[in-house]
Chain A
Amino acid sequence: MDETLDFANDVPASGHAGAAGDPSTPALRACAQDDKEFAASRSCAQNGSLFGGMPDPLAGLRIADEHLERVLRGRDFLVQDGAMGTLLQERGLTAHGELPDLLNFSDPDAIADIHAGYVRAGAEMITTNTFSANAHKLEGRATVADVYRAAAANARAAGARYVAGGLGPVGVLLEPLGTLSFEDAYEVFAEQVRAVVDAGCDIVLIETMTDLREAKAAVLAAKDCSDLPIFASMTFGEDGRTFLGTSPAVAAATLSALGAHVVGVNCSLGPAELEPVAHELLRFARCPVVVRPNAGLPHIVDGRTHYDVEPAEFAAVMARIVDAGASVVGGCCGTTPAFTRELAALVAGRAPAPRELPRAFAVTSAQEAVVLEAGSADVACVGERINPTGKPKLKAALRAGDYDYLVGEAVAQQEAGARVLDVNVGLPELDEPVVLAAAVERLQATVTAPLQVDSSDPAAVEAAVRGYAGKPLVNSVNGKRENLDAVLPIVKRYGCAVVGLTLDEGGIPPTAEGRLAVAERIVAAAEARGIPRCDVAIDCLVMAAATNQDEAREILRAVSLVKERLGVRTVLGVSNVSFGLPQRGLMNATFLAAALGAGLDLPILNPLSDRYRDTLAAWQVLNGSDRGAAAYVERYADAPDPYAAGALAAAGVATGPQDAAPSPAPAAPADAIPIPAALADAIDEVRAMERLILTGRKGPMAAATERLLEGHDALAVIDGVFIPVLDVVGARFERGEFFLPQLMASAEAVKAGFDVVRAHVGEGAAADDGKAIVLATVQGDIHDIGKNIVKMLLENYGYRVVDLGRDVAPERVVDVVREQGIRLVGLSALMTTTVKAMERTIELLHEQAPGVSVFVGGAVLTPEYAEQIGADYYGKNAAEAARIAERFFAAHPAI
């Protein structure tokens, strides 16, 4: 089994010059394609690398025998075993709190006997009894290596043809839902994979995953630490998604691109419920698909789990799933050798039905797949706004590490119709790999659109895509040899799609044919590294019409040529065309229309631009994707024509319903702020702003602040309006006239005003005068809403807040306090159990950072309790916290 097979000798007859000539031989054949030239190279992908094109995906793998190799090529069926836990329970071998994995040592005969039952029933592959055999779950009761060694020996003793070393989930949730980092998960799996290899297993089998990010860590570890075939399956719920929201399409597209050799589903539900899941997997997996259902749905009776599907019924549904194309079959919870016998009979003497491999362009996040089928008219907009070029606010946010701002941009673009989000954080003074990875991590935790990782630094690209839960689009590679060699291995290793720029050592070719030639080389280089062309999107590079007027038509022609000749999707950064010209929106929208007509699939643009949206909406009627023009009619039936007389003028002052100034001004409230002398000429504006803050209307605050800043000092606006009104809000809250959301909404409105003031005063005005405050939710506690409220209010009062987030270790608080010379720390804890962590943090601060004061808050705290754990101040709510900060900094002026 150590022999590495020579795939060159295994190329079937169809692998000869006319590779597309006999599509029936390889079961997994590339989809029949009109253009025979490219069908040939794709077929090679399956058959070997005799003719250039794709290398054999199985090259370099250690494959036990010829049958297994045929399984991996989708030409033979493979029957896996069924449940282990169910049979352990039947034999009374499950003890609570005991890991079944340890039975490999304590009762090896029983384990081997269960395996042998499956072997006798016809299972070709036996999975080791190692579902929990990771360092985290074993907790030192045995070493990972020992468990796999014993487990593999038991499987061999049972006469297994193939032994699959099984890996289940770590058992701790990964970030962002949990606390385990991607790299720590990777290390846990890497240790297991090394043990699988050392134990002499034939296959690495990753199963029952619900978190795509965790599955990715496991597959990467399997790729890096072994040369064995990798099977990876996830488990889906009744809504057709994993508990973390991953669909079968996303799982199949992501894990097969990443390099798993068989992907699919195990556990979850009964076979009938998994039928649609299997269909979706088959549509998106580039490799054989495994389906291993439970014996129906579980019922716990008297502490025992029972399943409701009988073997014959199970097999009847599996027959349909096999006919649909699944070629690796087995069972999971509740199945027994009787089920295996049925499955073995089902596939005996048969070969899998031929399957067409997906050739759609697909990028994914953990929750969404953006799929552009070849030949379809679908267009997917890529939002361009997360890019600091020419955006001072974004620059400032990136410098300050304020990723919330990026999330805001992401959400706005997604709501405006962007289906992919470009992420670029290139600023000279930033450590791009660190910042890009952090931005991607933050965005994938909040928005669902797949990300386009945009950097010219391969190290930054790798840092960002490695832990990305999905199949991102890398932007970009170009035709320079050095660049291809640097970027494509990353794209391949992490299973990404990639944007190829049509430029090379000679620059950007001025003609369409020249751009096509570069694109061809990029596609060929990608395929040579095993990246299928459907994962390459070509950017023909838009030049400014003002400087390269003659190229505009060449760019459009290049888009058509590339698409037609190479069969790949196309990308363009649309707005580049208008540099140096007036009315850029007009130029951009016109170019967009022309480019869409030329075949553009992935326009990179600002989705918030109405002009773009209008053009796209119209185009989607013309290209047939807006069936019956339904969306167009709904949007425009009652909309004014912007060119009709008067409409433009009206549009100039039009505001959304939310932004309309509150009409007839009510009388000033009893607790109205005094009008400051500096604003004596703007009483109405001040009163209007006061109302906006008191009613928590952040939408209109920006414009109101702009108006007030005209002719008035920024400080007068802050000290004369923002702060006094906030004080009124705080007082109303204290008196119970406002409840918490009102306090918050007012604070948000003031924050919107502050943002305008900051932009007005300039970027340099962010100094904190030594009034910086660290906030953290203590270790072990994950309730951070209260802390976030305090943060916003403190920021409103002008303090610089360093927010360390939730579940923060005492040491981390101390480190930050020391590094930044911080004098005031706010800690929150919601649970009685986590107040102890608060106490430890205070103790450590007082010991290692003398002179630092601490205020605490949280539902379970009382003033007495706060004093008892050593806190300097107790803030019963956010308004109180703001007063504490004021008192503290008044009493402790900066040195």
Chain B
Amino acid sequence: MDAEGLRVDRAEALRYLGYEGQDMDADLERRFDEAVAACERDLRARCVHAVFPVDPVRSDADRVTLAGCGLVLEGRDIARHLDGACEAALMACTLGAESERALRLRAATSPTDALLYDAAASALVEAAADAEEARIVSDAAARGLRANFRFSPGFGDLPLAVQPAFLAALDAPRRIGLSVTSANLLVPAKSVTAVVGLFAGEPPAGSARSTCASCGLAESCPLRSQGRTCHG
């Protein structure tokens, strides 16, 4: 499924850049505008999601196993996220190889433009993930299910090592051109994978939005240092 007409949330992109209301010169503002415009003009998001039943027999407080694809999501945080869920929606979004090429080009010609473009593209892929998550929520609602929110590999104690199997379960390399390196990093880098829990009734409190206060990675969280959180 393609997400078109996505817009960069400029405030969010600026936050990634560490912007805290500094006086921005007109020239820099123009360059930021150009980066945002280039992302919105040249990049398209490719997204895919699929819903799998939670296998209650092979799930416990430390892991969740999904039926139909055999994917095992390890960790207490994901177990809490999917506690009580009847199904889990896996999702993946990517801005594609063009985002990588555009970044390499700017890195070679102007590191400042590369930095601005990187932030704009990050905001754009988040927008794509928001849109895909919204589709999951509305599809679930149509089936009488309630959804919680997206939780990504690398957040909390859900290891990045799950990425290869995660992508395989979605057939993501073939369907949206999203791959993973031997170090389990997504390529193209401007990509998001995540899990959304689907519930027959109200999602239990345990799977409601977590906070940094309860997270074991809070001290070294790369998202926090960029002014972002994984819990929206």
Task: Tell me the A residues contacting B by CB distance below 8 Å.
Answer: 96-97, 171-173, 176-179, 208, 210, 235, 237-239, 242-245, 267, 298, 300, 302-305, 403-404, 407-408, 411, 442, 445-448, 658, 695-698, 736-742, 744-745, 747-748, 779-785, 788-789, 791-792, 807, 830-834, 837, 859-862, 865
Q: Which 3 A-B pairs have the closest CB atoms?
A: A303-B68, A243-B177, A780-B183
Asked whether A831 lies within 8 Å of B52 as measured between CB atoms, the reply is no
Please state if B185 and A782 are interface contacts (CB–CB under 8 Å): yes
Chain A residue with minimal CB distance to B90?
A300
Q: Are A785 and B115 also in contact (CB < 8 A) when A177-B187, A739-B18 are? A: yes
Complex CA distance for A475 and B163, rounded to whole angstroms: 45
Min CB–CB distance A172 → chain B (angstroms): 8
Nearest CB of chain B from residue A548's CB, rounded to whole Å: 39
Chain A contacts for B66, CB-based, 8 A: 303
Contact (Cβ within 8 A) A697 B187: no
- Inter-chain contacts of B188 with A (CB < 8 A): 177
Complexed CA–CA distance, A267 and B174 (Å): 9
SS of A interface (majority) = loop
Residue B214 at the chain A interface, CB threshold 8 Å = no
Q: Is the CB of B114 within 8 A of A785?
A: yes
In the bound assembly, the distance between CA atoms of A696 and B46 in angstroms comes to: 35
Residue of B nearest to A442 (CB): B108
Contact in complex: B115, A178 (CB < 8 Å): no
Is there contact, CB below 8 Å, between B183 and A834? yes
Interface status of B70 (Cβ within 8 A of chain A): yes
Contact B114 A745 (CB under 8 A): no
Contacts of A783 in B (CB 8 A): 189
Total interface residues on B, CB under 8 Å, equals: 69
* A831–B187 touching, CB < 8 Å: no
* Given A177-B97, A404-B109, A833-B184, A237:B22 Cβ within 8 A: no
Q: For B12, what are the chain A residues with a Cβ–Cβ distance below 8 Å? A: none
Stretch at the interface among B76-84, B124-132, B200-208, B218-226: B218-226
Specify which chain B residues have a CB less than 8 angstroms from the CB of A177 in the assembled complex.
97, 100, 187-188
| Extra pairs beyond A235-B174, A832-B217, A837-B183 (17, CB < 8 Å) | A177-B97, A243-B96, A302-B52, A407-B108, A448-B101, A696-B112, A742-B28, A747-B112, A782-B181, A782-B187, A783-B189, A784-B107, A791-B111, A831-B183, A831-B222, A833-B184, A859-B225
Give the chain A neighbours of B230 by CB distance below 8 A: none
**20 A-B pairs in the complex with CB atoms less than 8 angstroms apart:** A177-B97, A177-B188, A238-B2, A243-B96, A300-B171, A302-B51, A407-B109, A446-B105, A695-B27, A738-B22, A740-B17, A742-B22, A745-B25, A745-B28, A830-B222, A832-B217, A832-B220, A833-B184, A860-B221, A861-B220
Interface residue from A179, A442, A697, A744 paired with B111 (Cβ < 8 Å): A744
Q: Is A446 touching B68 in the complex (CB atoms < 8 A)?
A: no
**Chain B residues positioned under 8 Å from A242 (CB to CB):** 177
B contact residues around A696 at 8 Å (CB): 25, 27-28, 112
Q: With both chains docked as a complex, state the minimum distance between the C-beta of B68 and any C-beta of chain A, in angstroms.
A: 2
Q: B152 at the A/B interface (Cβ < 8 Å)?
A: no
Q: Is B179 an interface residue (CB 8 A)?
A: yes
A302 & B22 in contact (Cβ 8 Å cutoff): no
Q: Is the CB of B109 within 8 A of A742?
A: no
Do A781 and B101 touch (CB < 8 A)?
Answer: no
Q: How far is the CA of A103 from the CA of B69 in the complex (A)?
A: 19
Contacting pair A303 B181 (CB below 8 A): no
- 0 or 1 for each of B135-159: is its CB under 8 Å from A? (1 = yes): 0000000000000000000100000
Tell me the complex Cα distance, A747–B101, Å. 24
For A173, give the chain B residue with the smallest CB separation: B179
Q: Are A740 and B182 in contact (CB under 8 A)?
A: no
Inter-chain contacts of A447 with B (CB < 8 A): 105
Q: In the complex, which residues 110-126 of chain B have their Cβ closer than 8 Å to any Cβ of chain A?
A: 110-112, 114-116, 118
For residue A739, which residues in chain B have a CB less than 8 angstroms away from its CB? 17-20, 22
Residues of chain A lying within 8 A (CB to CB) of residue B109: 404, 407-408, 411
| Cα(A97)–Cα(B51), bound, Å | 19
A contact residues around B105 at 8 Å (CB): 407, 411, 446-447
Check B62 for interface membership: any CB of A closer than 8 A: no
Q: How far is the CA of A784 from the CA of B114 in the complex (A)?
A: 11
Docked complex Cα distance between A404 and B114 (Å): 13
Known contacts A303-B69, A865-B220; is A243 also within 8 Å of B111 by CB?
no
Decide: B108 and A741 in contact? CB cutoff 8 A: no
With a CB–CB cut-off of 8 A, which chain B residues contact A784?
Answer: 107
With A245-B97, A446-B101 known as contacts, the answer to whether A792 contacts B183 (CB < 8 A) is no
Are the CB atoms of B96 and A782 closer together than 8 Å? Answer: no
B189 to chain A, nearest CB (A): 6
Report whether A785 and B185 are in contact in the complex, using a CB–CB cutoff of 8 Å: no
Q: Which of A210, A300, A695, A742 has the most CB of B within 10 A?
A: A300
CA of A238 to CA of B168, assembled, Å = 21
Interface contact B24-A742, CB-CB below 8 Å: yes
Complex Cα distance, B97 from A244, in Å, reads: 5
B47 within 8 A of A: no
- Are the C-beta atoms of A176 and B115 separated by less than 8 Å? no
A377 to B116, CA, bound (A): 41
- Chain A residues lying within 8 Å of B51, measured Cβ to Cβ, are 300, 302
> A244–B101 Cα gap in the complex (Å)?
10
Instruction: Report the minimal beta-carbon distance from B105 to chain A, rounded to whole angstroms.
Output: 4
Q: Could you tell me if A302 and B53 are in contact, using CB atoms closer than 8 angstroms? A: yes
Residue B176, interface by CB 8 Å: yes
B181's partner among A179, A404, A442, A748 (CB-CB below 8 A) is A179
Alpha-carbon separation in the docked complex, A288 to B229 (Å): 54
User: Is B67 in contact with chain A by the CB < 8 A criterion?
Assistant: yes
